[in-house]
Amino acid sequence: MPSTRSPRRRPDDARRTELLNAARTVIARDGVTAASTRRITEEAGLPHGMFHYWFSTKEELFEELIGEVVTELRTASASVTSKMDGDSDAGLVDRLRAAFEVVRHDEQRQPGRQIAMYELTTLALRTPALRDMARHQYAAYREATREATAPWLADHDVDLPGGSQALCELLAVVLDGAVLAWLADPEGSNPEQVFTVLDALLARAVPALRAEPAG
C-alpha cells in the first residue's frame, strides 16, 4: 500500500508516541468510532493541530497502531513459548495455550485492548485504503504461529496434508477464534476444552502422519 506518511514525521519523537498511546486508550475505552483526531489529541493533552504534524490521516495512525500491538503480542508470545523449547513434555498445543494466556493477560491488564484489535480489523476490511492493514495483521499472526511451531515440527517428522503452512494456518485460526469467543462470552466459552480436543486429535494423527523413511 503506498505510504501516506508526512515527511515531517520523526519516529523517535515523544509527541508521536503520546498520540499513539492516547489512541490506544480512547479505542480501548470508547471504541474505534469514538477515536476522532480531536479526542485523541485531547487524551494526549496536546493541541489538535499537533495530530496532523505527525500523521497525515487518522488511518495512518491506525495502521501504525495495529502494527505496534501485533509486534508487542508476538514478542510476548515468543518469549513465553521459547521457554518451552527445552521442555520435552511441552506439546504443540501447549504453545497455543501459552499464546492464549498472553492475550488473556493483555486484555485483563488493559481492558478493551483486544476488542479494539478486532474493531480495527473490521474497520480495515470496510475501508478499501486499509485492506492491506488487515492482510498484514493476519500474515503476522501466521508468521508468529510458524515461529512457535518450528521447534515442534523439527522434532516430529510428519508429512502433513498441505504442509507445515496448513498447520500454522489451522493453529492461527483456532487461536484467533478462541480469543474472539472468550471476548464475546467469557463465562460461556471454554478455550481450554478446545485446546484439549485439538491436543487429542493431534496425538492420534501424528503417528499416522509420520514421514516414511527415505529409501
* DSSP letter string, 87-136: -TT--HHHHHHHHHHHHHHHHHHSTTHHHHHHHHHHHHHH-GGGHHHHHH
Intra-chain end-to-end CA distance of the chain, in Å? 48
Its sign, for the CA torsion 143, 145, 150, 153, is negative
HSE-up of residue 111 (Cα within 13 Å, Cβ side): 3
Q: In whole angstroms, what is the distance from residue 83 CA to residue 129 CA?
A: 39
Q: Is the pLDDT of residue 12 over 70?
A: no
Q: Kindly indicate the confidence band of residue 24, based on its pLDDT and cuts at 50, 70 and 90.
A: very high
Q: In whole angstroms, what is the distance from residue 99 CA to residue 103 CA?
A: 7
Q: Kindly indicate the confidence band of residue 205, based on its pLDDT and cuts at 50, 70 and 90.
A: confident
Q: In whole angstroms, what is the distance from residue 164 CA to residue 146 CA?
A: 8
**DSSP one-letter code for 5:** -
Q: Is the pLDDT of residue 177 over 50?
A: yes
Q: Kindly indicate the confidence band of residue 3, based on its pLDDT and cuts at 50, 70 and 90.
A: very low
pTM of the entire predicted model: 0.79
Q: What are phi and psi for residue 58, nearest 5 degrees?
A: -65, -35
Q: In whole angstroms, what is the distance from residue 66 CA to residue 116 CA?
A: 9
Length of the chain measured in residues: 215
Predicted confidence at residue 95, as pLDDT, reads 83
Contact 106, 73 (CB under 8 A): yes
* 3-class secondary structure, 210: strand
Count CB-CB contacts under 10 A for residue 86: 8
Q: What are phi and psi for residue 45, nearest 5 degrees?
A: 70, 35
DSSP per-residue letters across 29-76 = HH-GGG--HHHHHHHHT--GGGHHHH-SSHHHHHHHHHHHHHHHHHHH
Of the listed ranges 27-31, 152-156, 171-175, 179-183, the one predicted with least confidence: 152-156
